[in-house]
Amino acid sequence: MPAKVHIKDIWKGICELFYPALCLGCNRSLRGHEKVLCLSCQMQLPITSYHHQPENQTAILFSGRFRFQAATSFAYFTKDGLLQLLLHELKYKGRKKVGIYMGTLFGYELQQTNWVRTVDCIIPVPLHAKKQQARGFNQSECIAYGLSSVLQLPVLKHHVYRCKNTDSQTRKTRSQRLENMNEAFAIKDAASLEGKHVLLVDDVLTTGATLESCALCLLQVKGLKISIATIGIAYCFC
């Protein structure tokens, strides 16, 4: 029996004939099963493999700052590197599918760990409402949906919100950053989070002040446990 052909698929095929989807890394046409990056560029992503090492750089950065189960980052973020290019497409060109793609790849990595099996839900670090309105979306949410598609976990995007629109963190000292982030987050419907293991997701880890502030807010919920997952980790901490 011949396979059913959908008009949608024919139209997609025609569009791709005239406007083939290109790899964001090398600009070559993508093959049928490839998304965002061709296989060769995907293999060049500077993956950390931190999920196999409990004492990794992400975990070390948060050690002693708050209580967590596991902390990991997917790939190294370097200036002009492939990950910077992908995150730029996501954040500043609004290509949400790039975020979903990265989250999906990360999901396959995390699937290999035991700790991820005890996670109940995924929470993307929220943006302040004004910032989200200006950008049109939250990049961490796209990553969370990619992770969710592999790990089959719900994404909770209304349980934590940002109540303070913090200014730029880049020129501040660590204590100034923490002061700036103090009480930046608040929780809605805390009862539904009681006893849950939350995977807190963000795009790039630099100082960790935002994640720390969000985690400290969530940890006020009774019995809640936290693990941290970021797509990028800044290669050089300055």
Residue 20 vs 54, nearer CB to Zn ion: 20
Q: Judged by CB under 5 A, which stretch of 32-40, 148-156, 212-220, 227-235 contacts Zn ion?
A: 32-40
Q: Is residue 26 at the binding interface for Zn ion, with CB under 5 A as the rule?
A: yes
Q: Is residue 25 at the binding interface for Zn ion, with CB under 5 A as the rule?
A: yes
Single out the residue of 162, 174, 151, 159 nearest to residue 229, CA to CA: 151
Residue 40 vs 176, nearer CB to Zn ion: 40
Q: Is residue 23 at the binding interface for Zn ion, with CB under 5 A as the rule?
A: yes
Residue 10 vs 26, nearer CB to Zn ion: 26
- Report the nearest approach of Zn ion to the CB of residue 37 (Å): 6
By the 8 A CB rule, do 218 and 140 touch? no
Q: Judged by CB under 5 A, which stretch of 19-27, 46-54, 154-162, 223-231 contacts Zn ion?
A: 19-27
Question: Residue 75: beta bridge partners?
Answer: 47, 232
Size of the site for Zn ion (CB under 5 A): 5
Q: What is the 3-state secondary structure (H, E, C) of 39-51?
A: HHHHHCCCECCHH
Q: What is the 3-state secondary structure (H, E, C) of 17-71?
A: HHCCCECCCCCCECCCCCECECHHHHHCCCECCHHHCCCCHHHHHHCCCCCCCCE
Amino acid (1-letter code) at residue 175: S
By the 8 A CB rule, do 96 and 137 touch? yes
Single out the residue of 131, 145, 230 nearest to residue 184, CA to CA: 131
37-56 binders of Zn ion (CB under 5 A): 38, 41
Q: Judged by CB under 5 A, which stretch of 33-41, 76-84, 153-161, 230-238 contacts Zn ion?
A: 33-41
Q: Is residue 36 at the binding interface for Zn ion, with CB under 5 A as the rule?
A: no
Give contact residues for Zn ion (rule: CB under 5 A): 23, 25-26, 38, 41
